[in-house]
């Protein structure tokens, strides 16, 4: 069983990529829900919440864990790999590299949470590619909250998106990187605001490929024909657990 963790609903964008790419694998998704969003919380809080989630997933027998949360990855993945050296972990970080290598204008935009933009993963990528391209950054203020409320297609949400995205486009970005797993649920409105000349990039498919590689490298891929099970857990209430299930399958 593969464990997938996020602060809430956002990691379901990664869940969907794994569901499509690995049809024989059982997936167990843990969306905190109770303490979402993580993006503006302290590092100590994020680390504590993530460790609690990983312990829960390991107690369910997970053979590999995906931190489907850019903020949790930025804060906690190194400590988790040190603490559980036999468990394969896959984290998320803004896809700066593919954006930097394919931009035609020499300018890319990164939409992410405050904590992700402050994390070591992003800083290393910014240092590595920032000398080759101009990297514009924006915090998706309110993005996580509207996804949690299933309000992706309201006029209020479009106003939030415009506030964050229009300065990136005005600055010349022809690639916009989605640096939070909640943000792909806003992909349609982001693309509409950004315009047809701007490519929107997220990491979900790359994560699925990395998971497949680790399953093979560790000899833990499920056999062909295995009937998968899909489980949803939360630290919130039953209504939130049902919300996770519904968003996972109602794309």
**pLDDT tens, position by position, 25-64:** 999 999 999 999 998 899 999 999 999 999 999 999 999 9
Is 69 labeled as catalytic in the residue annotation?
A: yes
Q: Specify the pLDDT at position 143.
A: 96
Is the preceding peptide bond at 37 cis, omega within 30 degrees of 0? yes
**What gap in Å lies between CA 73 and CA 55, rounded to an integer?**
16
Q: How does DSSP classify residue 31?
A: E
Q: Specify the pLDDT at position 64.
A: 98
Q: How does DSSP classify residue 1?
A: -
Q: What is the Cα gyration radius of the chain?
A: 17
**pLDDT tens, position by position, 98-118:** 999 999 999 999 999 888 888
Percent of the chain surpassing pLDDT 90: 87
Q: Are the CB atoms for 166 and 197 separated by under 8 Å?
A: no
**pLDDT tens, position by position, 151-183:** 999 999 999 999 999 999 999 999 999 999 999
Q: Specify the pLDDT at position 100.
A: 94
Q: Work out the average pLDDT over 110-130.
A: 86
Which of the following is catalytic: 2, 69, 92, 190?
Answer: 69
The pLDDT-based confidence of 122 (bands split at 50, 70, 90) is confident
Q: Specify the pLDDT at position 120.
A: 79
Percent of the chain surpassing pLDDT 70: 100
Is 36 labeled as catalytic in the residue annotation?
A: no
Which of the following is catalytic: 75, 90, 168, 180?
Answer: 180
Residue 110: Cβ within 10 Å count: 26
Which helix H or strand E contains 67, and what residues bound it? Answer: strand 64-67
Q: Work out the average pLDDT over 200-229.
A: 96
**What gap in Å lies between CA 4 and CA 251, rounded to an integer?**
18
Q: Specify the pLDDT at position 251.
A: 58
- Structural domains of the chain, with CATH: 2-92+204-249 (3.40.50.1860), 96-201 (3.40.50.1860)
């Amino acid at each position: 069983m593969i464990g997938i963790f996020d602060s809430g609903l956002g990691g379901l964008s990664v869940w969907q990529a794994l569901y499509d790419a690995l049809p024989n694998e059982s997936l167990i998704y843990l969306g905190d829900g109770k303490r979402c969003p993580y993006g503006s919380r302290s590092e100590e809080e994020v680390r504590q919440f993530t460790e609690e989630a990983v312990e829960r997933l390991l107690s369910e027998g997970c053979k590999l864990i995906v931190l489907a949360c850019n903020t949790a990855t930025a804060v906690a993945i190194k400590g988790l790999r040190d603490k559980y050296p036999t468990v394969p972990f896959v984290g998320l970080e803004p896809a700066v590299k593919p954006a930097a290598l394919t931009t035609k204008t020499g300018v890319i935009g990164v939409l992410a949470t405050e904590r992700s933009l402050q994390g070591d993963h992003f800083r290393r990528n910014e240092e590595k590619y920032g000398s080759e391209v101009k990297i514009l950054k924006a915090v998706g203020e309110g993005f996580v909250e509207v996804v949690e409320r299933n309000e992706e297609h309201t006029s209020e949400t479009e106003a939030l998106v415009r506030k964050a995205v229009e300065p990136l486009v005005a600055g010349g970005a022809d690639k916009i990187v989605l640096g939070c797993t909640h943000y792909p649920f806003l992909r349609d409105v982001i693309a509409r605001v950004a315009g047809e000349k701007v490519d929107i990039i997220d990491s979900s498919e790359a994560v699925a490929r990395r998971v497949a590689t680790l399953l093979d490298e560790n000899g833990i891929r499920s056999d062909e024909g295995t009937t998968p099970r899909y489980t949803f857990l939360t630290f919130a209430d039953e209504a939130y657990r049902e919300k996770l299930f519904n968003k996972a399958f109602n794309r």
